[in-house]
Structure 1
Amino acid sequence: MAPPLIQLQDIHLRFGATPLLDGAELSVAPGERICLVGRNGSGKSTLLRIAAGIGEPDTGGIFVQPGATVRYLPQEPDFSGFATTLAYVEAGLGPGDEDYRARYLLEQLGLTGEEEPARLSGGESRRAALARVLAPEPDVLLLDEPTNHLDLPAIEWLESELKSLRSAIVIISHDRRFLENLSRSTVWLDRGATRRIDQGFSAFEGWRDDLLEQEEKERHKLDRKIVAELDWLRYGVTARRKRNVRRLGQLHSMRRDRSEERRGPGAVKITVTEGDVSGKLVIEAKEITKSFGETMVVRPFSTRILRGDRVGIVGPNGAGKTTLLKMLIGDLAPDGGVVKIGANLEVASLDQKRTSLDPEMSLRNALTGGGGDTLMVGGQPKHVMGYLKDFLFTPDQAHSPLRVLSGGERARLMLARALALPSNLLVLDEPTNDLDLETLDLLQEMVADYPGTVLLVSHDRDFLDRTVSSVIAAEGEGRFEEYAGGYSDLITQRGHGVQAKAAAASAKPSSPSASVPSPKAASSKKPRLTFHEQHALKSLPKTMDGLRAEIEKFGALMADPDLYAKNPAKFEKTSAALAKAQADLDAAEEEWLRLEILKEEAEG
């Protein structure tokens, strides 16, 4: 096995009297794909900063292979001192790095390079920071929540880009699908220590649950007393996952019902009075439209949302999702069409900006309003301490001021407040932001138990698959279509997922004929290599050399006449690897030849 590029051994770090890291370890070998998982506040970001050389532990061994290039993506990048995003990205390049990579990656991420960092949105900041760490193609990439503030097209592009790199990668993320698609090993940071499994994230939760179950059994052998509240926060995770598996089955049944309803439009006729309909019909939109100036944000769209439906709304940033959502719940009047809202509709929404929280208020008072020990949840009284426990808060935190809460804890509190309000329509706009994986399980459970209707805007593909019965997708140019099922079902039905919003033309043609170039003009225009093609043309020779070396190595192993007799499994594995490397080499050579021909044509 190749020596590690980064090795952290027996890392200890305390904040005051509280140990954050207690013997944590991390080893990163060339080409590895590792996901680092753990509860909010467990020290994942701190451990990653130590690996990047930014943070210092109290004690422990740190080794970085001499000459290895390491790039770290923080959650909050620092743009100070840079006039443009291009200057910021180029500053991350090292000696010998290709300059064109900076502009190519900015272009791929939807930026021009001329943006002023002070004017960037959260999503644009994240894209610029990603371009900076990806441009050098480092030996090791340390990524802390790389999908934060990104829309679905950007997340799927990032997945593809990371898969194509030879860099070793360590990822912290709450996006299950992202981790499943990229990781090959998992490091679990729990109570200051790390445990590792050489399998991707898809195997992690079952492995973790087995470890916790075994740990709980051993604990009960030593002590038969009641398990402390703090232990429930860990061991309750297993029970929630098992309940969620059952609920996924119920969700699939809802999706089948929804699909059958969509296949028979007009088959159900509402003949009862308005008062009776309001209990079953929540929202009905007929041919609603919305424009801002000359821009058509929502073209004629119709839908019927019934009591108990869970509807997801997906699309790239700027596609009009929030506008459509506001029209559906009556916060924004459509320009055309009609929105019919059921009588006595009570809406509860999640305040993603947390602006309604007083930082000096305690958790207990934030839920009860400062009066009494109980609150009404789902029409039933519940003690505030029990309700806090449902959202993974400890009794000690009940009297703590809100200013000491982490981003994930604030998100949990806002969720608890929203679900405690009397409502029959729950509107969740990006509810998974800042939530750890255990809290996402909790949120999934809460959505499943919610007795009313749910409208959900999210870029989290796995969460959509686990919660919604239908998806309204932005199709581009203000068009929206509804699909039965979750996000994976949407891909099956339309052949692709959410795609990036097309850039608007800088100038509109004065006549229809002006938009179509003449054949002569089209033929006289020389072909031009894109930044992506330029990069591929330069990097493919190195890729082909690597593949030839692999073929030679596998060929030498296969030349052993006794290999099959000694180790049939190794023979099969080597044979398959040899065939794959040869196929990859053939494809790379063919692509390189195509690009060389294109380059010659471009140069005249």
Structure 2
Amino acid sequence: MAPPILKLDDIFLSFGGTPLLAGAGLQVEPGDRICLVGRNGSGKSTLMKIAAGMVEAQSGEVFRHPSATIRYLEQAPDFAGYSTVQTYAEAGLGPGDDPYRVTYLLEHLGLTGEEDPNRLSGGEARRAALARVMAPEPDILMLDEPTNHLDLPTIEWLEDELRKTRSALVLISHDRRFLEKVSNATVWLDRGTARRLDRGFSHFEAWRDEVLEAEELEQHKLGKAIEREEHWLRYGVTARRKRNMRRLGDLHSMRANYRGHKGPQGTVQATVTEAKESGKLVIEAEAISKNYEERTIVSPFSLRVHRGDRIGLVGPNGAGKTTLLKMLTGELTPDAGIVKLGTNLEIATLDQKREDLDPEETLSHYLTDGRGETLLVNGEQRHVAGYMKDFLFQPEQIRTPIKNLSGGERARLMLARMMARPSNLLILDEPTNDLDIETLDLLQEIVAGYNGTVILVSHDRDFLDRTVTSTIAPAVPDAPDGRWVEYAGGYTDMLAQRKGAQEERRHAEKQEKARSEASSPSVEPAKAKGKLSFKQKFALENLPKEMAKAEADIAAREEKMADPNLFTKDPGTFNRLAAELEKLREKLMGMEEEWLELEMLREELEG
């Protein structure tokens, strides 16, 4: 086993009251891809900052290898003193680092490098910060919510880039699919301590449930042991007083452990306050379109949304998702076409822009709109402190200013306010940002079981697959031209349908090409004879064998690369296999196309 390049042991940190970290640890070795998971407020970001040297623990040991380089992705980058994004990103390079890496990363992240850092959107700032920390290829790369504000193509590119990097990774993310694809180890931060599983995130939830069940069983056994000891002390023989006193001390110790046990943090308990049923037809859009200057954002698009539909909107940043959403809800008038909204609509909106919150406003004032200390939820008057508790806020936070909340707590607060308002149409814009896994599970259940209608914009592929009944996406994903298409099912279903349509189109193009070649002068001699040339016949007979061999070679390499420890143990072999796999796939595709053309030519000549 390689020696650790970073080790945190028995870390303690408290801001008063219950300690945030109490004996937590973290160990990073070369090749590690660690996902750091836990509830909002469990101290994930704080532990990562301690590891990066940005926060000092009150006690505990921190070891960083003297020659190790560490880069930490800042949530709020400081652009002061930088005239362009290029200069900001290049400032993260060290001696001997390749400056071309900055240009390469900025290009793939959708930035030119000439942008003014002080005029960047939230998503652009996140991309610039990613380029700065990734460019040096440090020994340890620490990424806190790297996918926030990124669109799906960029997230998928980032996954590939992180799988190829030589850097060890420590990741915090709400995106299940992202963690499943990138991680090979999981550290669970729970009630101040850290547990490690040497497997990726896909195995985490089953393991977590096993740990909690075992813990609950131990508590049950301890309770029974206390009952037995109490019975012995009351009714047992009292002649051996010293032994009795010892057992009495043991009983006091067991009682203290039992009472002092702090169970896992509760789950959010909430349901949406539903309004009266809307009309059966919720939205009808007929040939709506929108242009900004010379650019087409939405070309004529028609859609019928019925009560109970759950529709996902996906696409690259700047494709026009928000514009289309605003037109569908009547907030924006289309340049052409008509939008008709159904009857009895009560709309509740969850906006991704957390900055719209007033940082000086208290939680109580925000939830009640300043109308006292009660609010109406599902027809029942609730005290704001009790309602806040459903969303894991403590009663003492009732007067806390919003500016003191973490990103995850702000997301939960906005969720609490939205759910308290009667609605039959939910509009959710990036609802999964900053939510922990457990709260995501609750939101997923709410959306899937909502009796009204849902339209959501999200880059979270797993969330889309679990919730929506149809997906609207650009017709041309890599270069949106204003055309939008509705696909049945979630994100994965959309990809499958899109792939099927592409294959059908390629097949039709090949058929047309083969027909044109069969009738062209170049094949006239063969056509006159009514048979293929010797070379063509040989290829037609032998290509299936070569394709089968290529498929076997591909399967063999894929099996070797499926070993989760291969990259850690032998990154050179992993990279070689990846390059060979790419070449074999290209070769197989070329052989398939050649065989199809020859087979179609043979049918043409014989028919």
CA deviation vs aligned residue, 1:462-481 (integer Å, no higher than 9, x gap): 11112111111123111110
- SS of the residue corresponding to residue 79 of structure 1 reads coil
- SS of the residue corresponding to residue 49 of structure 2 reads helix
Task: Answer yes or no: is 1:234 the counterpart of 2:265.
Answer: yes
- SS of the residue corresponding to residue 80 of structure 1 reads coil
1: CA distance, partners of 2:69 / 2:7: 14
Match of 1:254 in 2: none
Match of 2:511 in 1: none
2: CA distance, partners of 1:443 / 1:327: 25
1: CA distance, partners of 2:431 / 2:52: 30
Decide whether aligned partners of structure 1 residues 9 and 484 sit closer, same or farther in structure 2, where only a CA change above 3 A counts. Answer: same
Give the partner amino acid of 1:155: I
Decide whether aligned partners of structure 1 residues 456 and 33 sit closer, same or farther in structure 2, where only a CA change above 3 A counts. Answer: same
Task: Answer yes or no: is 1:106 the counterpart of 2:110.
Answer: no
- SS of the residue corresponding to residue 48 of structure 2 reads helix
Decide whether aligned partners of structure 1 residues 105 and 579 sit closer, same or farther in structure 2, where only a CA change above 3 A counts. Answer: closer
Match of 1:66 in 2: 66
Match of 1:193 in 2: 193
Match of 1:584 in 2: 577
| TM-score in terms of structure 2 length | 0.72
2: CA distance, partners of 1:456 / 1:589: 36
Maintained 8 Å contact 1:321/1:474: no
Decide whether aligned partners of structure 1 residues 581 and 150 sit closer, same or farther in structure 2, where only a CA change above 3 A counts. Answer: closer
Decide whether aligned partners of structure 1 residues 233 and 308 sit closer, same or farther in structure 2, where only a CA change above 3 A counts. Answer: farther
Maintained 8 Å contact 1:379/1:422: no
Maintained 8 Å contact 1:374/1:382: yes
Decide whether aligned partners of structure 1 residues 365 and 75 sit closer, same or farther in structure 2, where only a CA change above 3 A counts. Answer: closer
Match of 1:484 in 2: 488
Decide whether aligned partners of structure 1 residues 447 and 73 sit closer, same or farther in structure 2, where only a CA change above 3 A counts. Answer: same
2: CA distance, partners of 1:359 / 1:379: 29
| Higher alpha-carbon deviation: 156-165 or 212-221 | 212-221
Match of 1:452 in 2: 452
Maintained 8 Å contact 2:351/2:430: no
Decide whether aligned partners of structure 1 residues 588 and 486 sit closer, same or farther in structure 2, where only a CA change above 3 A counts. Answer: closer
| Higher alpha-carbon deviation: 309-318 or 402-411 | 402-411
2: CA distance, partners of 1:578 / 1:175: 26
Per the TM alignment, residue 116 of structure 1 is displaced from its structure 2 partner at its CA by 1.7
Per the TM alignment, residue 387 of structure 1 is displaced from its structure 2 partner at its CA by 3.2
- SS of the residue corresponding to residue 107 of structure 1 reads helix
Task: Answer yes or no: is 1:340 the counterpart of 2:340.
Answer: yes
Decide whether aligned partners of structure 1 residues 78 and 355 sit closer, same or farther in structure 2, where only a CA change above 3 A counts. Answer: closer
Decide whether aligned partners of structure 1 residues 51 and 289 sit closer, same or farther in structure 2, where only a CA change above 3 A counts. Answer: same
| Consecutive unaligned residues in structure 1, runs of 5 or more | 244-276, 498-553, 555-569, 592-604
Maintained 8 Å contact 2:175/2:460: yes
Match of 1:314 in 2: 314
2: CA distance, partners of 1:319 / 1:101: 27
- SS of the residue corresponding to residue 36 of structure 2 reads strand
CA deviation vs aligned residue, 1:163-191 (integer Å, no higher than 9, x gap): 11121111011111111110010001111
Maintained 8 Å contact 1:37/1:188: yes
1: CA distance, partners of 2:222 / 2:329: 55
Match of 2:412 in 1: 412
1:118-133 equivalence runs, <5 A:
118-133=118-133
1: CA distance, partners of 2:125 / 2:378: 40
Task: Answer yes or no: is 1:495 the counterpart of 2:499.
Answer: yes
1: CA distance, partners of 2:41 / 2:572: 46
Decide whether aligned partners of structure 1 residues 585 and 364 sit closer, same or farther in structure 2, where only a CA change above 3 A counts. Answer: closer
Per the TM alignment, residue 298 of structure 1 is displaced from its structure 2 partner at its CA by 0.2
| Higher alpha-carbon deviation: 436-445 or 201-210 | 436-445
Decide whether aligned partners of structure 1 residues 360 and 335 sit closer, same or farther in structure 2, where only a CA change above 3 A counts. Answer: closer
2: CA distance, partners of 1:320 / 1:365: 34
- SS of the residue corresponding to residue 415 of structure 1 reads helix
Per the TM alignment, residue 345 of structure 1 is displaced from its structure 2 partner at its CA by 1.3
2: CA distance, partners of 1:474 / 1:409: 33
Decide whether aligned partners of structure 1 residues 120 and 37 sit closer, same or farther in structure 2, where only a CA change above 3 A counts. Answer: same
1: CA distance, partners of 2:304 / 2:15: 53
The Cα RMSD (Å) is: 3.5
Per the TM alignment, residue 328 of structure 1 is displaced from its structure 2 partner at its CA by 0.7
Per the TM alignment, residue 367 of structure 1 is displaced from its structure 2 partner at its CA by 2.9
Give the partner amino acid of 1:65: H
Identity of aligned residues (%): 63
Give the partner amino acid of 1:464: L
1: CA distance, partners of 2:39 / 2:176: 14
Give the partner amino acid of 2:98: E
2: CA distance, partners of 1:233 / 1:414: 24
Match of 1:526 in 2: none
- SS of the residue corresponding to residue 81 of structure 1 reads coil
Decide whether aligned partners of structure 1 residues 496 and 386 sit closer, same or farther in structure 2, where only a CA change above 3 A counts. Answer: farther
Task: Answer yes or no: is 1:397 the counterpart of 2:390.
Answer: no
Give the partner amino acid of 1:445: E
CA deviation vs aligned residue, 1:382-429 (integer Å, no higher than 9, x gap): 564553333222334345443432222122111111121122111111
Equivalences, count: 482
1:98-497 equivalence runs, <5 A:
98-222=98-222, 234-236=265-267, 279-354=279-354, 357=357, 359=359, 361-369=361-369, 371=371, 375-379=375-379, 384-475=384-475, 476-495=480-499
Match of 2:238 in 1: none
Match of 2:505 in 1: none
Maintained 8 Å contact 1:89/1:132: yes
Give the partner amino acid of 1:146: P
Per the TM alignment, residue 138 of structure 1 is displaced from its structure 2 partner at its CA by 1.7
2: CA distance, partners of 1:207 / 1:585: 31
Per the TM alignment, residue 69 of structure 1 is displaced from its structure 2 partner at its CA by 2.1
Maintained 8 Å contact 2:137/2:165: yes
Maintained 8 Å contact 2:368/2:374: yes
- SS of the residue corresponding to residue 123 of structure 1 reads helix
- SS of the residue corresponding to residue 484 of structure 2 reads strand
Match of 1:88 in 2: 88
CA deviation vs aligned residue, 1:545-589 (integer Å, no higher than 9, x gap): xxxxxxxxx9xxxxxxxxxxxxxxx9xx99x99997696287399
Give the partner amino acid of 1:94: G
| Higher alpha-carbon deviation: 393-402 or 177-186 | 393-402
CA deviation vs aligned residue, 1:334-390 (integer Å, no higher than 9, x gap): 122221211121111113335675555543443344557654434565564553333
1: CA distance, partners of 2:473 / 2:351: 23
Maintained 8 Å contact 1:6/1:63: yes
- SS of the residue corresponding to residue 285 of structure 2 reads strand
Decide whether aligned partners of structure 1 residues 365 and 451 sit closer, same or farther in structure 2, where only a CA change above 3 A counts. Answer: farther
| TM-score in terms of structure 1 length | 0.73
1: CA distance, partners of 2:392 / 2:401: 16
Maintained 8 Å contact 2:143/2:172: yes
Decide whether aligned partners of structure 1 residues 8 and 102 sit closer, same or farther in structure 2, where only a CA change above 3 A counts. Answer: same
Decide whether aligned partners of structure 1 residues 55 and 371 sit closer, same or farther in structure 2, where only a CA change above 3 A counts. Answer: closer
2: CA distance, partners of 1:356 / 1:103: 33
1: CA distance, partners of 2:176 / 2:29: 23
1: CA distance, partners of 2:190 / 2:373: 32
Per the TM alignment, residue 197 of structure 1 is displaced from its structure 2 partner at its CA by 0.5
Maintained 8 Å contact 1:39/1:438: yes
| Consecutive unaligned residues in structure 2, runs of 5 or more | 225-254, 272-276, 502-559, 585-607
2: CA distance, partners of 1:313 / 1:87: 35
